[in-house]
Amino acid sequence: GAVVSQHPSWVICKSGTSVKIECRSLDFQATTMFWYRQFPKQSLMLMATSNEGSKATYEQGVEKDKFLINHASLTLSTLTVTSAHPEDSSFYICSAGLRPGEQYFGPGTRLTVT
């Protein structure tokens, strides 16, 4: 089956710094990728839809200037958390697929901001 990878698996950064998370589709091309955030013991919430070659679409309440998304190729989307603060600490998961009803999820990236 299709595989989606994320890098890094976990990252610790200091408050005020920026961190970049990569999402790759390993054996297929994806014009659209999705980014989710999951706080401890909570559900997954969609943050934004990443579109290859165009601007990302953000869900209501998600700060686009804080969570920068770049979908530079058909196999790579990146999420940059800018000026991170402790409240940004969370588990970030991406997904990609050939169509909306057939998504494959990455293993997630655990971000801790100290």
Binding residues for another protein (CB under 8 A) = 34, 36, 38, 41-46, 49, 91, 93, 95, 100-105, 107-108, 110
Nearer to another protein, 12 or 83 (CB): 12
Give the pairing of strands 90-99 and 19-25. Answer: unpaired
DSSP state letter for 88 = G
Of the candidates 77, 81, 80, 112, the residue with the CA atom closest to the CA atom of residue 94: 77
* Cis geometry, peptide bond prior to residue 8 (ω within 30 degrees of 0): yes
Q: Which is nearer to another protein, 62 or 82 (CB)?
A: 62
Residue 80 or 103 having the CB closest to another protein: 103
Closest CA to 110 of 14, 6, 2, 1: 6
- For the chain, how far is it from start to end, CA to CA, in angstroms? 37
Nearest approach in angstroms of CB 22 to another protein is 17
Report, in Å, the least distance between residue 81 CB and another protein.
17
How far apart are CB 98 and another protein at their closest, in Å?
13
Question: Closest approach of Cβ 100 to another protein, in Å?
Answer: 6
Structural contact between residues 50 and 62, judged by C-beta atoms closer than 8 angstroms: no
> For residues 66 and 110, which CB has a smaller minimum distance to another protein in the complex?
110
